[in-house]
Amino acid sequence: MAPGGKRGGPLPVTVIGGYLGAGKTTLVNAMLRQAGGRRLAIMVNEFGALPIDSSLVEAADDRIVSLTGGCVCCSYGEDMVSSLAMLAALEPRPDHVLLEASGVAFPGAIAGTVGLLADFALDGTVVLADAETVRRRTADRYVGSTIRQQLAQADLILLNKCDLAADPDAVEAWLGEAAPTARIVRAERADVPIDVVLGTRSGNAAIRADGRFRDHTAGYVAAELDPPAGADPEALARLLADPGHRLLRAKGFVRRADGAMAAIQVVGNRWTVSEAPPEAPVGLVCIGMKEQADPAAIRRAIREAEAGTPAFG
């Protein structure tokens, strides 16, 4: 639908999925920066209880809806539908909705729900894949099945972080076999033209949210941590990225000793720290497998590090 389209016509929805740390929020922000005359509305589903990703989205607050504390594909169907209706009722009406799924969600189940709604039109399902880790993680006995299903449900696979992969050609060839019905586009930092993402036109059979995915997040744990005041975010990020903690993902906001806010992003043993808005909520979310990650041990490590040096450095 063109910008300014008639109210009452189906509102296009693009579902954005992909495993933890693949770059979904980065892609959403890239789309917002390229929106031009398009009015984009954003829905963000976060597995943890803190609205970390929605705080990183570069859009007006009234154009963002955050669903936290679970997986929208299996437990928040009614909340998702009512939130979509709320976005559709905005004045001026959005031209397009970007629905960012949690990193453990099945985007096909979400797309199936959207496809059943008369007031919305499924525009496509975009799944991001981390070029550096996707092959290794699909072979993992804990998380591999989730990632393989995410890829299989994509209309478009955005092969992201190609600059970090040793052989992106090999990864792309492997993806072509793993998800033969999906189009594959390479990217670094999720930087692709907006028209690659919008207007994907769903061709895969979207998987209806019929309950068979209801327990697929049972093996994961999401723990909320309160970072110590005045913590060194770089030192904290290094601690969370320690392979001994077995975290899949950690993210959040820390207030530095000088009062400035910093955003921490940890994916496996890689981490980054960047500036964050002053109004960002202080807190961290750590996600791992219940059989591997130990939130209590991480909290102890943070306390011990804090006791060792006032600057937590």
In a shared domain, residues 153 and 232 = no
Does residue 152 belong to any structural domain of this protein?
yes
Average confidence score pLDDT of the chain? 85
pLDDT at 84 over 70: yes
Among 162, 197, 232, identify where a domain stops.
197
Q: Give tens-digit pLDDT for 111-152.
A: 988 988 989 999 999 999 999 999 999 999 989 999 999 999
Q: Give tens-digit pLDDT for 12-55.
A: 999 999 999 999 999 999 999 999 989 999 999 877 656 677 67
Does residue 137 belong to any structural domain of this protein?
yes
pLDDT of residue 215: 53
In a shared domain, residues 86 and 233 = no
The percent of residues above 70 in pLDDT, for the chain, comes to: 83
pLDDT of residue 203: 60
pLDDT at 211 over 70: no
CATH number at residue 230: 3.30.1220.10
Does residue 80 belong to any structural domain of this protein?
yes
Q: Give tens-digit pLDDT for 225-282.
A: 888 888 899 999 999 999 999 899 999 999 999 999 999 999 988 999 999 989 888 9
In a shared domain, residues 39 and 104 = yes
CATH number at residue 193: 3.40.50.300
In a shared domain, residues 145 and 244 = no
Q: Give tens-digit pLDDT for 157-170.
A: 999 999 999 999 99
In a shared domain, residues 155 and 253 = no
In a shared domain, residues 155 and 280 = no
Does residue 111 belong to any structural domain of this protein?
yes
In a shared domain, residues 300 and 238 = yes
**Domains identified in the chain, total number:** 2
| Poorest-pLDDT segment among 189-198, 205-214, 241-250 | 205-214
In a shared domain, residues 177 and 76 = yes
Does residue 73 belong to any structural domain of this protein?
yes
Does residue 3 belong to any structural domain of this protein?
no
In a shared domain, residues 98 and 135 = yes
In a shared domain, residues 118 and 45 = yes
pLDDT of residue 1: 37
With cut-offs at 50, 70 and 90, classify the pLDDT of residue 209: very low
Does residue 19 belong to any structural domain of this protein?
yes
Among 197, 228, 248, identify where a domain stops.
197
Among 165, 197, 229, identify where a domain stops.
197
pLDDT of residue 213: 46
pLDDT at 184 over 60: yes
Q: How does DSSP assign the chain, residue by residue? A: --TTPPBTBPEEEEEEEESTTSSHHHHHHHHHHT-TT--EEEEEEESSSS-HHHHH--S-GGGEEEEESS-TTTT-HHHHHHHHHHHHT-SSPPSEEEEE--TTS-HHHHHHHHHT-TTEEEEEEEEEEETTTHHHHHT-TTTHHHHHHHHHT-SEEEEE-GGG-S-HHHHHHHHHHHSTTSEEEE-STT---HHHHTT----S-PPP--STTTTTTTTEEEEEE-PPTT--HHHHHHHHT-GGG-EEEEEEEEE-TTS-EEEEEEETTEEEEEE--TTPPPEEEEEEETTT--HHHHHHHHHHHHHH-TT--
More confident residue, 110 or 213: 110
List the domain range (segments joined by +) for residue 108: 11-197
| Poorest-pLDDT segment among 54-68, 101-115, 198-212, 298-312 | 198-212
In a shared domain, residues 167 and 277 = no
Does residue 6 belong to any structural domain of this protein?
no
In a shared domain, residues 247 and 123 = no
